[in-house]
Structure formats: structure tokens, C-alpha cells
């Protein structure tokens, strides 16, 4: 356990038993790895617990918090969409999140033709969702796209293999 001492943002009480979302996000940015803080902030925004513009306007001295807020896009449907975006950017690959391809959203798009799909635990284990995912993959492949689909397990615990696959696809020009 780590005890935090910090000034709360103006307007927040220092005597509450439960911290407001913005204070919690500042603490997370201070003590957690960047990816964890970013995925949590994006989740809070996506769930409607806080507005990104509110986070931008917060008065805080935390440079780590400012860095997290600067990277929040509000586009990710889940943390396993945020993590690949920032990891791929570190190696010089820009992934557009929630890109519309042939009238349907995809989790990520590199260049014009490399589609990345990231499957979380629950939704993609349902047979109907899995069938829909496979139909969409076939449709995109027949339109000339390369589709790489990765599981939660692969993104979170086998990132090197995910990265190698994406880099190999780009090296083959499959993003053009």
C-alpha cells in the first residue's frame, strides 16, 4: 500500500471517504505505470464518469497526469484497444482507432489497408459475436484488406508476438 499526500484539485474536499474520479485519476497517474493510468482514464471517460475536457482544465502540478490526459482520445472501446495504440506509436506506427472501413468500425487501422481487431474477454466469446467478427473479417479480406485479430491474452501477455505480426505485415506493405 502506498500513502499519497497531495493537494486535491480546487473544489474537492480533503475530508471525503471516497475520492472523486479526477483525484483518483491523478493518484493513478502518479503511482501506476503509464499504460494502466491511461487505460483507466479512458475507461472513466468512456463510461461517462468524467469528461475529458474537465480533466484538461484541472489544476494540478502532476506532469504525469498531464501526460496521461494528453494521450486520452476517448475513442477506445476497451483498454486492449488503448494499449496497442500507444505501444505501436512507440515504434513509429500510427494506428487510427475506431476507423470506419466499408461502413463498419474497426478497432484499429494502420495506413489504408491493415485492420487490427482486439477481442476482449466477454463479448467475443459469445457464439453470435464470434460469428459476426468472422463474417466481418471475411468481408474485409475480400475487399483487399489484411485483418489481424488478437485476443486479450495476446495483447496483455504476448505483446512481442503481436508486435512482430504487425511489423511483419507493414514490412510486406499490407498497410498500403
Note the pLDDT tens digit of each residue in 113-162.
999 999 986 655 678 888 889 999 999 999 999 999 999 999 999 999 99
pLDDT of residue 2: 59
**pLDDT above 70: residue 10:** no
Every domain range in the chain assigned CATH 3.40.960.10: 79-171
pLDDT digits (tens, 9 = 90+) for 164-173: 999 999 999 9
pLDDT of residue 155: 95
Strand partners, 65: none
Single out the residue of 38, 113, 125, 136 nearest to residue 78, CA to CA: 38
CB 42 within 8 A of CB 98: no
pLDDT band for position 4 (50/70/90)? low
pLDDT of residue 74: 84
CB 62 within 8 A of CB 26: yes
For 79-171, CATH number? Answer: 3.40.960.10
Q: Per mean pLDDT, which of 21-25, 68-72, 123-127 is the most reliable?
A: 68-72
Q: Using alpha carbons, list the distances in angstroms from residue 95 to 5, 23, 55, 129, 154.
A: 37, 30, 24, 24, 18
DSSP state of 7: P
| Predicted TM-score (pTM) above 0.85 | no
Report the distance separating Cα 63 and Cα 123, nearest Å.
Answer: 36
Percent of the chain with pLDDT over 90: 69
Amino acid at each position: 500500500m502506498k500513502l499519497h499526500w497531495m493537494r486535491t484539485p480546487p473544489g474537492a474536499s480533503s475530508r471525503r471517504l471516497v475520492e472523486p474520479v479526477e483525484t483518483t485519476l491523478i493518484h493513478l497517474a502518479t503511482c501506476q505505470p503509464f499504460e494502466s493510468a491511461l487505460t483507466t482514464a479512458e475507461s472513466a471517460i468512456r463510461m461517462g464518469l468524467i469528461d475529458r475536457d474537465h480533466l484538461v482544465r484541472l489544476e494540478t502540478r502532476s506532469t504525469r497526469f498531464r501526460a496521461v490526459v494528453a494521450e486520452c482520445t476517448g475513442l477506445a472501446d476497451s483498454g486492449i484497444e488503448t494499449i496497442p495504440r500507444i505501444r505501436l506509436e512507440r515504434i513509429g506506427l500510427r494506428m487510427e482507432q475506431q476507423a470506419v472501413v466499408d461502413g463498419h468500425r474497426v478497432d484499429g487501422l494502420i495506413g489504408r489497408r491493415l485492420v487490427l481487431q482486439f477481442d476482449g474477454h466477454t463479448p467475443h466469446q459469445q457464439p453470435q459475436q464470434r460469428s459476426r467478427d468472422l463474417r466481418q473479417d471475411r468481408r474485409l479480406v475480400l475487399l483487399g484488406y489484411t485483418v489481424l485479430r488478437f485476443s486479450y491474452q495476446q495483447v496483455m501477455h504476448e505483446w512481442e508476438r503481436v508486435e512482430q505480426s504487425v511489423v511483419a505485415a507493414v514490412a510486406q506493405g499490407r498497410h498500403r
